[in-house]
Amino acid sequence: MKKQQVKLFSMVMVVTLALTLLLAACAAPVAAPAAEEAAATEAAPAEAAAEQPVAAGDFKPVWYAPAPHPYFEDVRKGVEAYVAETGIAVEMQIGPDWTQDSQNQRMEALAANGFNAFAVYPADASGANGLYEELTAAGSHIINFGTSTAQPTTASFAVATDVKVAAMRATEELIKAMGGKGNIINVLEVLEDPNTALRKQGIEEVVAQYPDVTIIQEVAGMTSVETAVQKVGDALSANIDKVDGIIATGYTPSVAIAQVLGEYKSKDGARTIHAVGIDTDEIVMQAIKDGVMDGTIVQNPYGHGYLSLLLLQYLSEGYTPRADVYFVDAGFAYANQDNLETYSEDILAVTDQIKAELLDKYLEK
């Protein structure tokens, strides 16, 4: 390569890198309105706490999420509330992807750096156990939030939604909206997730109690919103003359249902189709507000974050899990047009109740 070309190449690289960093720096705070709101209320004490140096022998907690996702931003609000309340610094990390490999490397590095308590969303329900075994053998405490690792596991607790119960509640609500009869399309998310089987089971158990309700189709493999939109659209097309309700028990299909049904109704779709989803994506909440969807199951991500850290703190203070206690049901609420403005308060009340019960119900000394 000629000297001039090398110079030109270097210049272009520097300019590109500078533009990239500038773009990322400019955009990040604006693109996350929810995170910004949380920061406005809790940032000052949280930041102050986060800047505290980690001393040897202390409780050194980490909150770890595998990849950027709106759910984790909601969980982080709970962690930030914990930091603000206790003044204890928490290392908050979000990884680059959903692979267990990345999670292993980053958490091992954190452990090597002296951190000894981990609230983790496992990237792989089985694969994470290997990492956990090594970390707990080295004296660390681990708590799963959002979902559980496969049993047996060395994690002390899993703070999460009881997915089967939530799926059953969603199904009950859908059937109620359908008037106790009709045909349902069951939209599952990813089959690789063991929780999907539990959700499917829950839905089928409820449907079995209603002789006039039938699941006419199941669709799955919603790896992205694009795929989900395509599959939900196809399922709706296939059953357009007989479907009465659609249920989704995953974030991605819920967004897809909101999109597809919204479009169907905007094109004067004649059939009345009820729908219940999960999580509080803006598109889903707007669909409920517009009457396109009936409701959604609201999980407790705030509680997933807050309670995980509180449990880790208790474990570091010498408390141990009670015998046969592992799963901490963080609860959920059902949001529909009637409680759109108040459901977040309902879910905060659930967190407060569990917090009050932690020492009696889940821990002992």
Q: Which residues contact other proteins by CB under 8 A?
A: 1, 5, 9, 12, 16, 20, 23-24, 27-28, 30-35, 67-70, 72-73, 96, 188, 191, 216-221, 223-227, 229-231, 233-241, 252, 255, 259, 262-264, 266, 281-283, 286
Nearer to other proteins, 47 or 85 (CB): 47
Q: Among residues 361, 336, 342, which one has the least CA distance to residue 176?
A: 336
- Closest distance of CB 40 from other proteins, Å: 16
Amino acid at 334: Y
CB nearer to other proteins: give 25 or 56: 25
Least gap, CB of 196 to other proteins (angstroms): 10
Closer of 15 and 325 to other proteins (Cβ): 15
**CA-CA distance, 146 to 309, in Å (whole number)?**
13
Q: DSSP states of 118-160 as a string? A: EEE--SSTTTHHHHHHHHHHTT-EEEEESS-PPSS-S-SEEEE
CB of 233 to other proteins, least distance (A): 5
94 residue type, one letter: I
Distance, in Å, from the CA atom of 281 to the CA atom of 296, rounded to the nearest integer, reads: 10
Residue 17 or 349: which CB sits closer to other proteins? 17
Q: How far is the CB of 223 from other proteins (least distance, A)?
A: 5
| Nearest distance in Å: CB 320, other proteins | 35
Between 155 and 298, name the residue whose CB sits nearer to other proteins. Answer: 298
Write down the least CB distance from residue 335 to other proteins, Å: 17
Q: Which is nearer to other proteins, 225 or 358 (CB)?
A: 225
The CB-of-274 to other proteins minimum distance in angstroms stands at 18
Cβ distance 122 to 128 under 8 Å? yes
The 8-class DSSP code of residue 359 comes to I
Residue placing its CB nearer to other proteins in the complex, 106 or 154:
106
DSSP category for residue 271: S
* Pairwise CA distance, residues 78 & 315, whole Å: 19
Q: Which is nearer to other proteins, 2 or 365 (CB)?
A: 2
Tell me the C-alpha to C-alpha distance, in Å, between residue 209 and each of 172, 186, 205, 292. 10, 16, 7, 26
The two structure tokens encoding residue 116 = 């000894």
Q: Are 296 and 278 in contact (CB under 8 A)?
A: yes
Query: Minimum Å distance from CB 317 to other proteins?
Result: 33
> Which H helix or E strand runs over 298?
strand 295-298
Residue placing its CB nearer to other proteins in the complex, 224 or 353? 224
Smallest separation, CB 56 to other proteins (Å): 33
Contact by Cβ (8 Å): 95, 102? yes
3-state secondary structure 41-108: HHHHHHHHHHCCCCCCCCCCEEEEECCCCHHHHHHHHHHHHHHHHHCCCCEEEECCCCCHHHHHHHHH
CB of 147 to other proteins, least distance (A): 17
Judged by CB, which is closer to other proteins: 140, or 217?
Answer: 217
- 210: nearest Cα among 237, 181, 230: 181
